[in-house]
Amino acid sequence: MKVLITGVDGYSGWPLALHLLARGHEVVGIDNFVTRRRVSEVGSWSATPIPSFPRRLAAVKEVLGRDLAFHRGDLQDFDFVRDVLARERPDAIVHLAEQRSAPYSMIDVHHAVTTQVENLTGTLHLLYAMRAVCPDAHLVKMGTMGEYGTPNVDIPEGFFEVEFRGRKDTLPFPRRAGSWYHWSKVFDSGDVMFATGIWNLRATDVMQGVIYGIRTPEITDRRLLTRFDFDETWGTALNRFIAQAVVGLPITPYGKGGQRRGFIALEDSMQSLRLAIEHPASPGEYRVLNQFDAAYSVNELAEVARRVAAEFGLAATIEHPPDPRVEAEDHYYQPIHDRLVGLGYRRTRELEDVVREIFRDLIRYRKRIQARRHVLAATTQWRSEDSASALAARAPAPTAHPAPGTGGEDPARSLA
């Protein structure tokens, strides 16, 4: 199949491109390198050194013997989106190019508006361009389990049967998201569902859980590493816990630590996306997949990180800072995730094995985390009006720049 990936330079987009190429699919990427810029904006960088994009492309050619086609551009530009789709005519479009951080969206009004305007505009541009030039293509849209919130009942895959005043219907399950970012995904879901209905498009809305991990089988060379964020804005829970342990900082499950979420290893998330691509939705179908492997509380994950740290001679501690977010800290959580299994999903990695692998890699890049350790603490407060000034006032990085030749966080040097 020919697969277009928007956000190909990102944490998931890059390993997905490698995975699909290794499976014999043709891959075309789009990116505007905004993640590299925004991670710098909060004073951080990826723990893994990320080569400039031209170097990434050269490494793919050399290691995998495959070409990864690429268009640099922005989904906010409708002409660009339509032109790329018209030129490439993909069978599937995996849409990962959205602002993906809940804390980033909560910094202040500007970050909230940027998140929602960019995310909704990019999705609408893709939907309109698909209708115009490739209405048979299958859209695999990255959503989030966080759309549902944490209701006190089981969470179905998108829809449920309701009986009200003696009448029955199958309706979208109520959404109760926990950040402006998560709400942007709710609004996207409504737009994708509506577009499939009126224009007969095919779409899969992937309710993605929190991803953890650093490697996939295709990452056989350090030039092929994906990014690994550990700061409070861009890093996710378990990845952050391991980074904290590696530099001797306490592991930080927020508040009571009973927050339960669906988690999935990076490698298994790639497997799931491939399964969704290879088994497309039908014309007019809006299919929802709850994409996670198992649910854990952040306390449970902190404990796993602490235990595995000891195997590496690291005496990690666990602390509970007050929760900077507004969320239930102890709650029922029982989402259904049968559809992926129905498509053939099988867990390939056990949690502790992946945690060990992350420790091994992060110990190698410990100096890079150490150099940015000031960005590990939670600074963005959901209730506060001045998270932006708190972020700005944060102590500066003690050491500065990436080693020459790694490209560090430089965007696409020398790419037109």
Q: Site residues (CB under 6 A) for ligand USQ?
A: 100-102, 144-146, 208-210, 236-237, 240, 252-254, 259, 261-262, 298, 325, 327
Nearer to ligand USQ, 200 or 370 (CB): 370
User: Cβ distance 208 to 292 under 8 Å?
Assistant: yes
Nearer to ligand USQ, 52 or 291 (CB): 291
Known catalytic residues?
Answer: 144, 181, 185
Burial 28-46 (b: 16+ CB within 10 A, else e): bbbbbbbbbebbeebbbbb
User: Using CA atoms in the order 351, 144, 226, 300, what is the torsion angle rounded to 10 degrees?
Assistant: -30
List of E strands, 178-314? 202-208, 210-212, 260-265, 286-291, 294-297
> Which residues are paired to 291 by β-bridges?
208
CB atoms within 10 A of CB 261: 20
Minimum Å gap between C-beta 96 and ligand USQ is 10
Q: Which residue is nearest to ligand USQ (CB)?
A: 146
Minimum Å gap between C-beta 394 and ligand USQ is 16
* Both structure tokens of 354: 């992946």
User: Using CA atoms in the order 237, 299, 362, 370, what is the torsion angle rounded to 10 degrees?
Assistant: 80
Minimum Å gap between C-beta 262 and ligand USQ is 6
Closest CA to 49 of 386, 339, 369, 397: 369
Nearer to ligand USQ, 179 or 216 (CB): 179
Nearer to ligand USQ, 146 or 407 (CB): 146
Minimum Å gap between C-beta 24 and ligand USQ is 29
Nearer to ligand USQ, 56 or 100 (CB): 100
Instruction: Name the helix (H) or strand (E) containing 195.
Output: helix 180-199
Minimum Å gap between C-beta 302 and ligand USQ is 8
